[in-house]
Chain A
Amino acid sequence: MSTISLPTSCLLDKSVVRETLRGLVRERLGVSLPPRQGTSLGVVRALIAYGGLLYITPELWHLLERQGNLPIASPLLAYLRVLRPGRYLKRWGRRLTEEGFSHEDALILSYASFGFDVLEKIFGVESVLTNDLRMKDRYAHGFPRIEARFARMIRQLKSPYQRATLPDVVSAEELRAQMAL
């Protein structure tokens, strides 16, 4: 028997989606996959198989659902859900840019706390899945400050916002190792 701890809800960042789609096309053509593409594709499939909720941001959804991008994107879109932007998303995003995150990184981290899913009646996600190790390291190193700032912000908010949570930020490679794929 082996025990693993998997996120039940995961927000995929742009790098994971990009590598997954590239890997999917290369696989179809019978071309060997570079490690990150193989890892991203394998982890995404495994999370789906384990019944996890896989989300992307509305911005990424909008990009993928364009008619000209659908030939490659549609096989993956069928398994993804989109988070809606909840109140305070922008405010927390601004705080994160002050902590040194790029606008795009701050946006995805903010969706991971204040994005919501109408069907599941949940908000935030357990984990952000990324291949961007710089963003992951910045989050890990700055976590004590980020956590304190987050606590100060949500303390002043009404329910349900005061119950908002911060996500884990995990790399596809870490999750692959954990799943023993």
Chain B
Amino acid sequence: MRTVVIRETGELVLPRETLEESQITAGTALVVIARAGQILLLDRAQVRRRVEEIGQEMQASLDKALGQAGKDAIFAGLSLDAYLALSEAEEVALWDRLFKEAEQELMIREHDIPPDFMPARQKRR
């Protein structure tokens, strides 16, 4: 494992091997994501490409699912046309009803959280 040390000025010099492995070259614009105990450097262009890939994957999955379901019933018994024709108020009301039904069917049963589990965040305030 390679380690680097942050200078007093906040500067960080990355080893050449690290840059080669990451395929990130000098002059590349990086997004810095800072979290408690972590600093991630991401190539913005690569992230954008990944966003596009995810979009394509979702669309391909939707195409497949709609192809199997046909146009007759794609959500809550509605056809594709009927679903798209819903006004916002109608859609909100539909989801409210579906959520209530799901809640009644499920009934919350709490479970003990194991003592070694960690909170996902530390409060930043």
Contact = CB atoms under 8 A, between A and B. Distances in A.
Interface of A: 1-9, 14, 18, 21-22, 24-29, 31, 42, 45-46, 48-50, 53, 58-60, 62-63, 68-76, 78-79, 84-90, 104, 114, 116-117, 120-126, 147, 159-161, 163-168
A3 B34 contact: yes
B62 A72 contact: yes
Contacts of A6: 33
Contacts of A2: 29-32, 44
Among B58, B91, B114, B118: residue with most chain A CB under 10 A:
B58
A152 to B, nearest CB: 15
Contacts of B113: 86-87, 114, 116, 123, 160-161
Interface string B86-100: 000001100100110
Interface size class of B (residues with CB under 8 A): 35 or more
A79 B95 CA distance: 21
Contacts of B91: 18, 22
Nearest to B30: A1
A147 B125 CA distance: 10
Given A2-B31, A86-B110, A126 B121 contact: yes
A59 B111 contact: no
Nearest to B98: A63
B120 A124 contact: yes
Given A75-B61, A166-B123, A45 B108 contact: no
